[in-house]
Structure 1
Amino acid sequence: MRSRLSLGQVVGRKVMWDNRKSNQAKGDLWAPCPFHQEKTASFHVDDRKGYYYCFGCHAKGDAISFVRETENVEFMEAIRILAGEAGLQIPESDPRAQKVADRRAELVEVMEQAVRFYRMQLKTGAAAEARAYLAGRGLDEAAQGRWEIGFAPPGWQTLGDHLRGQGVPDKALLAAGLVRASDKGRAPYDTFRNRILFPIRDPRGRAIAFGGRAMDPDDNAKYLNSPETPLFDKSRTLFNHGPAREAAGKGAPLIVAEGYMDVIALAEHGFGAAVAPLGTAVTEAQLAHLWRIADEPIIALDGDTAGQRAALRVVELALPLLTAGKSLRFVLLPEGQDPDDLLRAKGPAAMAGLLEEAQPLIRLLWQAATEGRTFDSPERKAALDKALADKTALIRDQGLRRHYDDELRQLKWELFRPPARKKAGGGMAFKGKNAPAQARAGTRASMLATGTLSEDHLREAVILAVLICNPAVLHDFLGELEGLHFTDRTHGALAHALLIAPPDADLRPYLAERLGPGALEKLFADTHVALTPAVRRPGEDAARMCLAEELAKLNARRGHRREIAEAEEDLSAGLADEHVTARLAQSSAAMDRAGRAQTGEDRTEYEVGANGAPINRRERAALDEFLAGLRLEKGSGGTT
């Protein structure tokens, strides 16, 4: 194939040669580079050696790589394109495959003859109304030519008679879907009659089907596609696939619209990477095609109820197929408008603005679950949790599913607990139902009300501080953190911010930005936090050990308190028996075990003082030794 191809001819379809700098006779060709925007001729083709090189962007390669890059296709597709230009048949794997390929080639030629016939019919008097309709939609004669739009006359056998006269047998016409067999014993009749026709081409540019719009308003089918044929499978085909793939390869956003006219309007207004499914919802095979072209295709649907339902069907289809880097974005147009309407009414700038604001898939998922609903009871909130969990459970990629759950958790937090208002000078001020409750008369003398911290409060602070100082272990403790109930509002806000923090976030600036610097200052100002070894000297091993112990002790204490409360209820109800005593004994033993290491040997680096603060054992021993020396010196009459 390389020996038959001229690289100059392959490249020449995409560039304008600089005749002052090029020497055609020697195969020394220069042009502005097709891979980056420039005015100078820095792109060089050595036609004799079959290689190109750009001295600006350093792109290089041969005819195959040139077609792959400019057409945005895979290797084998580039081979097929070049083999067709070189007049070479790609060897098939077996004779049957070769026979199928030959049959497809024959049908493609029949379809191309039909395209030419319908194009000629659009210029006849019978097509006057069709031409007026197209002009009214903003398509002049040049645009009609670019899209090869044609017209099928009202007669029953106009196309069939024409192609039979060209030597095409009825068998081929039926196989191509251009005519249908009569159930009354008559000759096959034309599939399309009195319709504007849009040729449908495969990614390689071969005509494989037609889409027709009825001119008769009373026609049962406003739009009609060719039937399924050896060439055409509508569930695997996209209108404008090839040109859109090439435009997307040059950086244009890939847009998925609903119909032919939407795609044509988008492309005519500068959005060349536009495609459409063919009369059905987007299929899994079409999604696979879209993701080969672009990582995040934009689904642009009509702004009516049907468009919204179509968007949700795409979401349902896409969720199990999502992977890292492969997703969808959505644009819902103003109600009652499709892309063609919007472009004609407000121009390309309006469409470009909507595309810039395209919403990620998760926002559409959230909108569908919450729009028009209230969540003023635990039951309704639980129903929302279940509905969202059912959706994210469809995502097969576990890492991606975790990010979806994190984002939805943040959205629920914002929905149920509106963000606090920042006070002047830092910190947070709360309003309305989110304001901290005033201390009651019966609680003003409690430890928390008087400023003396409870042991639970101290342990919560240590857990949060260790996680903030050791972000590498945060992911391993997300489940435990999510299950904790915090006694302090600031602690709860810090915990939630940690749960939704991006994996690569610098935690201190991130938390300060979300909650204000006052929250962190308050946390780390406490002596018991400052003395914690995993805070003073961060390290993964020390942090894991500290967190495991603090969580075990906190959960054991809270569990013991619950057992005591239940035992009191049983006693007051006269239900006390040996089971209550056994439960309390087991709970007390669990709390005792939590105060020691799992092996039964106390290996902790610190112990809890009388006030609940952790004290480093080595420092405690050194202090005790120092105080003992002072006492001895004092006892011997020395000066202290």
Structure 2
Amino acid sequence: MTITPQWKDELRARITLSSVIMRTTKLTKAGREWKACCPFHDEKSPSFTVNDQKGFYHCFGCGAHGDVIGWMIEQRGLSFIDAIKELAAEAGMEVPAPDPVAAQRAEKRASLVDVTEAAQQWFVDNLRGPEGREALEYLKRRELKPETLREFGFGYAPESKQALPTALPGFDEAMLVESGMRIATEDGTKYDRFRGRVMLPIQDARGRVIAFGGRILQDRDGVAKYLNSPDTPLFDKGRTLYNLHRAAPASRQSGRVVVVEGYMDVVALAQAGFGDAVAPLGTALTEMQLEMLWRMVEVPVLCFDGDAAGQKAAMRAIGRALPLLAPMRSLSIVRLPAGLDPDDLINRDGVGAMERLLAEPTSLLDFLWQYERDALPLESPEAKAGLKARLMAHVDTIQDRDIQALYRRELLDRFSAFAYPPRPPRARPGSASWRTGPSQSRGLSPEARSALQAITVGGQRSDLLDAVLAGFLRHPGEIERHAEALSSLARLDPKAAPAIESLIELSETLDSRGETAISHPQGYPAPPVDIRYAFLRDGIPPGEAREELAEAVSLLVEKPALEDAMAATIARFDEDPEGSIAEQIRLRQQLTTVDERLKAFGRRKAAPAAGTE
């Protein structure tokens, strides 16, 4: 018999997690949970929580997480089997025969840590010995202080291919290979992975050495400047952030975590007083690494070089982050001057220059807009359409529907302002501005009166559409900003098309210099005021009116667009039944979300009306 998941669930159910943790850690009740200073790393304010209902502990500082079995292994230092036996005795359960594979895996991981810890001490000793003299001079030329070298555990791997087995005779060849310290070729040859390099230990969230990074002393063609350990049972580069165990406590003091490109950038920042920096390990930020960052702060700061490569690295990270965005969970970006890394900037302009950059990062949305706007020349309508397509492709990856809608509206607003800049007013015979001049009465021209009549008379339209049309009559300066969205709505909703076409035509013929150019007191009468909507009420701040009007337009356009897409998906059912059904399910979910937003919009706007009666 083996230890099954069901048996472990029963064991966890019989043991109160907090009672076990209390034996070695002082817990304080906090609502339904318990809190304490984390036993896995030094801290002054509690970030360690215990939840008996869910059966797990979690540290928001270092990321330590587990159940009662994990606690016995990680905090008490027991093997998996010993932890199970002790807990089962307490719970009055009989221990089945353990799963030999799982037990062997846990023991192997613990023994591999012994290998990497021993190798780290050997590397450190080498740096202080005769073989490490050149490496130590290299580090001094990089202006690294002795205390920095000690804090980060700098060492040196000698040039020899067979030095490690002699230095670590207590570990067999298989363990040295499995830990990533040695390489085994197909013909049976084995040799040291790291040779002639300055070495840095890579540590997990608890500070244990699990891997290494090495840098050559002199750049040579065909030789990688930086070399990291491969993935091993100890080390998964996609789930590890360099310097996390130091940065997590520091970030609780600063309220910030800074992500840089490499571990030498982390070291340079730490030496300058920025202890809250981490780095991925040779790859773009992964989804798991982003989750680790968000456990520390709501908006981590990405700090990349200002050159093209650095900006592409930032965009790769943003591409990974967009689907994962959630309320109060985003990214911000700092662009370093082109050609400078953090160390260069600090050496050239001082610590203050870095502080100023980190104090005013660019938001994710701003960076996305600026990057795509500047990516290609925008000298033709086709190029501008390409910009819009790229922006909307990014928006479509966002899974949170509220955030997706907000990004879509904001980016479309920016695109419209960029692609359709305001035109200078055109004076024509018969128009108010041509007839009377700016200082005289500004009534509407006959053309404007005719167009306005088409709008105000209306037809079989929704209440929200009528309110939006009336809103544009009160705020004509917004018409051009939303011209593209309105044109899209006219294509999708035939009932709305005549009024929208008249509205856009009117926007080109009215006297745009008047404060209320369409509904001027001496022109055509203003449409009735519907006090449910801010954009139709007097005395509302212009910014609030514009924002609500933009939200209403977005809702009006989104629903018929989804309905149109649904019709197209149903039409191709015979060609691709499975794909059509999957797409229909997705679109129905989106339509349900839009309907809920429309209802919420109406209820939200009804509240002021009720209060005025």
TM bucket, shorter chain: 0.5 to 0.7
1:556 paired residue number: none
1:196 paired residue number: 198
Q: TM-score by structure 2 length? A: 0.64
1:160 partnered with 2:165:
yes
Q: TM-score by structure 1 length? A: 0.61
Question: Residues 221 and 374 (structure 1 numbering): CA distance in 2 closer, same or farther, change over 3 Å?
Answer: closer
Secondary structure of 1:200 counterpart: strand
2:270 paired residue number: 267
Gaps of 5+ in 1: 17-32, 36-51, 53-58, 420-433, 464-472, 500-515, 541-546, 552-640
Separation in 1 of the partners of 2:356 and 2:311?
20
Question: Residues 196 and 488 (structure 1 numbering): CA distance in 2 closer, same or farther, change over 3 Å?
Answer: closer
Gaps of 5+ in 2: 1-19, 28-35, 85-97, 436-441, 487-511, 537-548, 554-613
Secondary structure of 2:302 counterpart: strand
2:604 paired residue number: none
1:290 partnered with 2:311:
no
1:362 partnered with 2:358:
no
**Counterpart residue type for residue 229 of structure 2:** S
Separation in 1 of the partners of 2:444 and 2:480?
20
CA deviation after TM superposition for structure 1 residue 418, in Å: 4.6
**Counterpart residue type for residue 202 of structure 1:** D
CA deviation after TM superposition for structure 1 residue 126, in Å: 1.5
1:71 paired residue number: 61
**Counterpart residue type for residue 413 of structure 1:** S
Secondary structure of 2:210 counterpart: strand
Secondary structure of 1:122 counterpart: helix
1:600 paired residue number: none
Separation in 1 of the partners of 2:532 and 2:111?
79
Report the identity percentage: 34
Separation in 2 of the partners of 1:483 and 1:251?
49
1:436 partnered with 2:439:
no
Separation in 2 of the partners of 1:223 and 1:537?
60
Q: Find the structure with the greater CA-based Rg.
A: 1
Secondary structure of 1:413 counterpart: helix
Structure-to-structure mapping, 1:51-70, within 5 angstroms: none
1:454 paired residue number: 449
CA deviation after TM superposition for structure 1 residue 263, in Å: 0.7
Structure-to-structure mapping, 1:75-154, within 5 angstroms: 75-76=65-66, 84-89=74-79, 91=83, 94-154=99-159
Secondary structure of 1:212 counterpart: strand
What root-mean-square deviation, in Å, do the aligned CA atoms of Structure 1 and Structure 2 show? Answer: 4.5
Aligned length: 458
Higher relative contact order (CA 8 A, sep 6+): 2
**Counterpart residue type for residue 457 of structure 1:** L
Separation in 2 of the partners of 1:539 and 1:415?
24
CA deviation after TM superposition for structure 1 residue 385, in Å: 2.2
Separation in 2 of the partners of 1:11 and 1:361?
33
Separation in 2 of the partners of 1:360 and 1:3?
43
Separation in 1 of the partners of 2:289 and 2:79?
28
Separation in 2 of the partners of 1:170 and 1:60?
39
CA deviation after TM superposition for structure 1 residue 377, in Å: 4.1
CA deviation after TM superposition for structure 1 residue 127, in Å: 1.0
CA deviation after TM superposition for structure 1 residue 414, in Å: 2.9
Is the contact made by 2:257 and 2:300 (CA closer than 8 Å) also made in structure 1? Answer: yes
Secondary structure of 1:351 counterpart: helix
2:214 paired residue number: 212
Question: Residues 121 and 72 (structure 1 numbering): CA distance in 2 closer, same or farther, change over 3 Å?
Answer: closer
2:578 paired residue number: none
CA deviation after TM superposition for structure 1 residue 492, in Å: 2.0
1:559 paired residue number: none
Which of the residues 383, 388, 398 maps onto 1:385? 388
Question: Residues 417 and 227 (structure 1 numbering): CA distance in 2 closer, same or farther, change over 3 Å?
Answer: same
Separation in 2 of the partners of 1:322 and 1:297?
12
Secondary structure of 2:313 counterpart: helix
Question: Residues 440 and 379 (structure 1 numbering): CA distance in 2 closer, same or farther, change over 3 Å?
Answer: farther
Separation in 1 of the partners of 2:531 and 2:153?
71
CA deviation after TM superposition for structure 1 residue 104, in Å: 0.3
CA deviation after TM superposition for structure 1 residue 369, in Å: 2.1
Is the contact made by 1:254 and 1:298 (CA closer than 8 Å) also made in structure 2? Answer: yes
2:33 paired residue number: none
Question: Residues 538 and 212 (structure 1 numbering): CA distance in 2 closer, same or farther, change over 3 Å?
Answer: closer
1:5 paired residue number: 24
CA deviation after TM superposition for structure 1 residue 489, in Å: 5.0
Separation in 2 of the partners of 1:380 and 1:518?
34
